[in-house]
Amino acid sequence: MASQSYDDRDGTIWMDGRLVPWREAHVHVLTHAMHYASAVFEGQRAYGGQIFALTQHSERLVRSAELLGFTIPWSVAEIDAACRETLAASGLRDAYMRPIAWRGSEQMGVAAPNARIHLAIACWEWGAYFGEEALARGLRLDIAPWRRPAPYTAPTASKAAGLYMICTLSKHRAADRGYDDALMLDWRGQVAEATGANIFFVKEGVLHTPVPDCFLDGITRRTVIALARARGVEVVERAIWPEEMEGFEQCFLTGSAAEVTPVGAIGPWRFEVGALTRQLMRDYAAHVRGNRRGD
């Protein structure tokens, strides 16, 4: 059975300062963001009626817009409040949330300095991003044909819509080849991230993760690093080359949508869904629900 279309649902969406019926949350076909990718967004989750790391997400949304050359006409505190209002209106306790800001339709062409800046926030029920089965067996990742761009070629510190074009292409190709997702290398050929999540490896009890110098330093990534260090686990942020994957024992992804999801294979390399991965999955699940540890 096909999933319900995202434009045909009950509920409300916060849009430019007010809640509107879900099916009436429209933008014009000549919206600048549709043609020139002048949009930034966030992905965040609510657990038990509380939005995890809400202010961090709102702050990043504002920074992302500034990197794209526009200012969101709502403060971080106002964005936080709008997110809470949207969640309350949904009636959901556990939900995925999508704030998005974009240039409107007042101007058409590459330059649109006078286009109105819009902000919308939607939320919906969304379980395990990769499905419950993946949490048990671990994901299978292909190697993406596209690479994360150098920071001098794109605003890579921004969670900008345009930067996800190659993620979509890479994930579609992976799905066509029977994989769950794809590992993206960066422009140097080093390990970067999956199509929408950061990546970690385990070797001899030590966590290794790429330096986020051309992709997002994810909020979930930073949370998991802190949780690991709180347990006395050494975390090494460094350049990682693909051939090193042969020597890693475990692997997992982190992200607001993915949460902590184990990886069982990347291309020809195999990984165990091991004890440290399982522990960090429990720790993260406990942490986002307000509990200190997942023992």
Task: Please list the active-site residues.
Answer: 159
Evaluated on CA atoms 161, 165, 166, 168, the torsion sign reads positive
What is the distance between the alpha carbons of residues 277 and 223, in angstroms, rounded to a whole number?
14
Q: Are 62 and 40 in contact (CB under 8 A)?
A: no
Longest dimension (CA), the chain: 57
What is the distance between the alpha carbons of residues 25 and 261, in angstroms, rounded to a whole number?
32
Half-sphere exposure of 174 (CA within 13 A, CB side): 25
Q: Are 245 and 266 in contact (CB under 8 A)?
A: yes
Residue partners of 172: CB distance under 8 A and separation at least 6: none
- Tokens representing residue 212 in the block: 């986020």
Please name the residue that has the structure tokens 């190697």. Answer: 143
DSSP symbols for 37-83: --EEE--EEEETTEETTHHHHHHHHHHHHHHTT---SS-HHHHHHHH
Please name the residue that has the structure tokens 């686990």. Answer: 233
Residue type, 111: A
Report the run of H or E that residue 229 belongs to, with start and end.
helix 219-230
What is the distance between the alpha carbons of residues 66 and 213, in angstroms, rounded to a whole number?
18
Evaluated on CA atoms 227, 40, 43, 75, the torsion sign reads positive
Residue type, 46: A
